[in-house]
Structure 1
Amino acid sequence: MIRRARSLAPLVAGLLGLLATDGCSSHRPLGQARYRTNCGICHHGGEGMLGEIPPLTGRIDRIARTPEGRHYLVDVLLNGLNGPLVANGGRYNFSMPSFRRLSDTEIAAILTYLSASGGQADPPTFQPGDVAAQRGQAPGPSRVADERRALDHLHPLP
């Protein structure tokens, strides 16, 4: 009986490891699905369209490394974004709509999915509570653009 328990130990440890990490990846399918149906229409696979729609891949994870960056990203999805901006050296002048109609869980999942798509080790994650904490405020897309400019002075944005 002891020998059988020892032979099962690696299997049990592996299963427990998978269960422990499953919570970290549970946003991925939801985030990917909501990204495709809400954001991918304009941002495509995350690369955007030069001069029209800014790229997201490789930027969201870097912006989310600071508390101010995380706040800004949640504001963008909740409130939209208007006006000119520079991203990865390209100039963009566009209007992004608000996605306030999505749930806190869906917005957190989209941001977590995009952050994980950046390719960096240990990408920042978002929780529904992060979104809920900001949902009561509605600064509007032009104010979000002001927030972006202030953030860019504090922590230069990619």
Structure 2
Amino acid sequence: MTFFKRLPPALLAASAATVFLAGCTPKSGAGLYGTNCGICHHGGDGMPGSVPPLVGRIDRIASTPAGRRYLADVLMNGVSGPIKASGMPYNAEMPPFRYLQDEQVAQILTWLASRGQTSPAPQITAAEIAAARATRKSAGMVASEREALDHDHPIP
């Protein structure tokens, strides 16, 4: 156990993500997450002060149609600017993931939602992703959408 206390936090997070995602198939929600999102968000816990956590938040955001629309917009258009996640401030940019197919994005978001406490976990559909893909928005427009959503349904 003392060995792990001496490792840098970033290395521990990357190692935990690797162990957590080991055994996932590349086409599963977990596998798609690992190869597309895990590089920044690690196993879903993010990096304090740098990259917001996703686990325990995506399910709560996805519990409303407006929240699912926002999540789809984030993945299709990216988002930038200051946000609060789990009470912590972040100021980063997330790129769009338009290169993924609608079904793949839906699998990633549904898998993330399943890792939260909401029961039953919200399901994000490929049709919701396709609707977001059909309307391009700037990352700043998505940030404004987040502010409006946070006003109506506080984002964790």
**How does the TM-score come out when normalised to structure 1?**
0.80
| Correspondence for 1:74 among 72, 75, 84 | 72
- Unpaired runs of 5+ residues, structure 1, are 1-28
Percent identity between matched residues is 53
| Correspondence for 1:49 among 43, 47, 50 | 47
- Unpaired runs of 5+ residues, structure 2, are 1-26
Q: Which residue in the other structure is 2:110 paired with?
A: 112
CA distance, structure 1, for counterparts of residue 124 and residue 118 of structure 2: 16
CA distance, structure 2, for counterparts of residue 65 and residue 119 of structure 1: 11
2:147 equivalent to 1:149: yes
Structure with higher helix content: 1
Quote the offset at 1:120 in angstroms. 2.6
Let me know the Cα RMSD of the aligned residues.
Answer: 1.3
Q: Which residue in the other structure is 1:61 paired with?
A: 59
**How does the TM-score come out when normalised to structure 2?**
0.81
1:53-79 residue CA offsets vs partner (Å, 9 max, x unmatched)? 000000000001111101000000001
Q: Which residue in the other structure is 2:138 paired with?
A: 140
Is 2:62–2:124's contact at 8 Å kept on the other side of the alignment?
A: no
CA distance, structure 1, for counterparts of residue 59 and residue 145 of structure 2: 18
- Mean Cα deviation higher: 121-130 or 101-110: 121-130
Quote the offset at 1:117 in angstroms. 0.8
In the comparison of the two structures, how many residue pairs are matched? 131
Quote the offset at 1:135 in angstroms. 1.0
Quote the offset at 1:129 in angstroms. 1.1
Q: Secondary structure at the match of 2:93?
A: strand
Find runs of 4+ consecutive structure 1 residues off by over 6 angstroms: none
